[in-house]
Structure 1
Amino acid sequence: MIQLGFICNRKTTSSQDIKSKSKKSVVKRSFYVPLRLAFKTASEVKASSDEFPAISIYYDFEGYLPDVLFPYMIIDFLNKFQMEEVDPILLYNHAQLYFDQDHHVTLSLVKFITKEDNRKFLLKVTIKRTNTLAEKSNEEPSSEACKEVLSTVEMSFKQSKDGGRRGIPFKRCIPCDCSHTSEKKHFQFVGDFQYKWMTCSKDGIFIKMDVTRYHQLFGRNEKSPHKEESKQGISENDFRQLLTDTAAWFDGLGYLKILKVLYKDHLKKSRVEVERANSVWDLLQDLTASGSLKPSNLTILYDTVKITQQFGFKSNVENQPPEDIENHVVSTLSPFRQKIYQLGVKLRKDEVSTLAGLFNTKLVKKYQDSWSLIMDFEHRGIIDEDFTKMIEFLKVFEINGMKWAKRIFVDDVQDDTEPTVSPLSVNQGSQQDIKWIAVTALFIALIGILLHLVSFLFFYF
């Protein structure tokens, strides 16, 4: 039963485990059996507090939540963190568990009614500092404890025991501010807690939601291991070679305009000078002059490779970029800049033409590609990091059937129409354009054959 994960030992001191019975000592063992626990009502579960300084994360299982998951998860938690003589509070769908001397954790299966009138069960994980008898703790849980708790809980979702458990898909989420006072809840999916702000437009009004606390307590360390490596630096000769190889690689791909967009926050030259730059080398020289790129700090180059997913790039400098570049954490290019890159990648040529007509009423501009449009729109303030200025821009996308663009900037929007294209596909035309040209050419060829046949018959008859 222990090996199957149905029960776990209750830790007790040896003096209590061994009792004298006649001449022989008998070892008494106690077990926790979560599958036999009593059920707690929904109203009782909701009563468990998650007010500050406690913090709660919810898990959405996308419609699949087996009954045995919660008992299994309790077993996993007790096996790892159980303390002698400290009994947890255990029910079939609710548990208050010891984590360490400073923290305790509450796990609950809670039912919600969403704004779409759907009923769903979510797993609520609440982490809180342990109070003393003298006073109530007002201190936040530590980031290390928060990450360890989530790691343990999520391992229960992913692992399989003796072939009897399969991985369970899940998403991390938190209640959205838009439904704070409502009985019908809306939840924001928080991913890997990489953002400090999230946006919501569920009620037709854009609101900005501060999630900095979740980012600080649960997010990964923003310091990339490659930052530490680059502090030692490379030689000046290697640095020049690396810049030469980088420029050759990205110029060969035709990524000059893409990098102009990505590096906008770091380039110190004027907009006109940046527009006139005709090679990636010019941009790298500007980054070097501004101090954003130097032999002791190559982070922005690693960020570039990671965002553009050019993992095949290898320079003539040993271990540059590093072998594990795919695990690099982007830090010099802001989340907004990364979203702008996604926008540029996914904009098709016909969509660029549509936007050019809608936003240039006096003099229609013809943009060569999406990157030219983005640079112009950023200069004019149509595209701006201030989300309030982006609202009208995103409305135009939605009105014209480009709902996928909203998904890039508003995290909770779900849309299956999002296109998947390469960064330079806008220069090649859409597949619909190619199909139309092929059909037209075939039609013209058939007309030619028909006219030739008519001429032949007329000549002989």
Structure 2
Amino acid sequence: MYEHRMTNLDFILFWIRSVFVNVRKGQHNKIMLIGTHYESLGKTEQERQQRVKEIENILWKALEGKPFEDMVYQGEVFTIENSVSFEKSGASKIILQLQELVQMMILTFPIKWLQVMQEIQQLRKDKLYLPTSEINDLLVRCKITNNKVLLEYLHDIGEILFYPDDKILKEKIVIDLMGVVDKFKKIITVIDPKLQSSLKQLWRNLNKGKLDEKLLRHIWKDESDEMIDFFVSLMQTFGLMCEKMSKENVGRTFYVLSRLKPQRDDTEAVKYEEKRAVSLFHDFDGYLPDDLFQRVATKFIEEFQMEDVEPTLSYEHVELNIDGHHLVILNVATINNCRLFQTTIVRTTIMKTESGSSSPKDDDPQPSICKKALNFLQKELQVLSQNGARGVDVKMYIRCACSNSERTHMQVVRKFDQDVLPCRSKAMDVKRYRKLFNKIKDEQEEANEDNEVDSIDFSEDNFLQLIADFAKWFDDHGLLNRLQVLFIEIVDDIEEVKRVTSTINLLALLSANGQLSQTNLSVLYDAIKVTEQFGFQSVIKEKLSAFNNIKKRKVASFSPRTREIFILGKSLSDSEIKTLDARYNFPNLKKYTDSWSLIFDFETRGLLNEAKIEEVKKVLKRSNRGDV
């Protein structure tokens, strides 16, 4: 760490926190505190013992009330003198205590797993990573039946890095974590490398949080382009860097907040005009996990940055314009001796033009911006605060109206669904917070906001014409069975859906269920988008000018699972239909006429729910390999 930033006590608490976060709940782990150079504490044994007691009192007071207090062995702070014989050093006492603690930490797991770990440790001598396929081959040789469970376990205990859901990272599994750390250290912690003059300014920029691709390639000059991209993806996954958005085609630039030095105390809570700004605070079990601020702020910049608009960066304070009307300030605020993650959303002031116009006075930030920012922050804070095996709990606060310069009262908030919050004999009016943050929208609600055409009030004649044209188009193209698959989750009576013989009857069911009306046409638009019947758009647009471009809309009527099932129906071949018929219906084969009749049947039987659809995919995968 940087000079004057942390005291020796701060360092000790830092390492205790790190251990606490990375140890699972319920395990009998203890941290022993051992002080070296015992003889240097005083000239006499009495002086040394007295000094040890003073140090113990400082440590126990610093740990008091902390979530990791119970993890520290508090019988005593052990001491050892390095310059004398083993018998006189005090080491035997430490060893005896360790033997007692180790008996409580015995962990059992299958011998096959141990064999895999030993194999990986051997491979680690020569390899930083291995292709995922080679690791899977190793697991097969060791007769492991559930690869994912073991790989996730090895990831949890820090033996490997395993990211099966990342497009780039899923193809490789890191087996030498310290090797990767060494790569990262070259960017984050190296102080003053010897560089040629052309790179010195780029290094100065890095110390300000900006990394030029030219310098990056110099730092990792021994790596291939593929490995550089791999390491960049790893750092982005960890929130250690993000790429700057720019129209300039002169090489990439990255923001690296973890590189910044603490040049000032960023501990003051940000205060802005109350009417133009709103602040939220997040706490993590009474302390702020080390480097969490820099990583979350990096993720936030990556998500919300404007093209070629530079954020203001310092160690624990970031200011970012996210559009022409809003500035977001992320900072660490110390309130009531607790370090909190503060987020402030500010409605910017539009400066007067020659015509004299400016932004209205006391404009609130836009609710859609507030909800979007909070939604993202909640997700990232939760993910990054749970990175360790244990993780920490996240709580959200707002500053109570009763706060003053001498005392700050923080209100815990879980949902912005109330108009007032109690404060002893009084109450705080929070209607403004409710208006700005009320509910974090899910994917479908955001889609509904974006699809403005859904709420257009068609005349009755135009509505009936649209229904008739829609029904004729889908009947003429033989698409009724596809609509039945889509609509099965939004119509109450599945048997009714099964019995319909025309699209107009299916639309009547939707209308009866309240899913279709003159003022709510989203289900029709979404059906056209999912079935890709964009030719119908050109037909209807000639009659109804209000019909927007369906290709650009976000689907809100059908869940991701239904869309996944629909894609499966489109992809099934005749041989795969026969395979599934044999696997699930033998000996009473149903001899499905097409994939859609199979999908509809499987869906009504519950064979495509979240728990069983993976089994169906495995049957198809084995079939394609010739195993069935």
TM-score (norm 1): 0.46
Identify the structure with bigger relative contact order (alpha carbons < 8 Å, sequence gap 6+): 1
TM-score (norm 2): 0.35
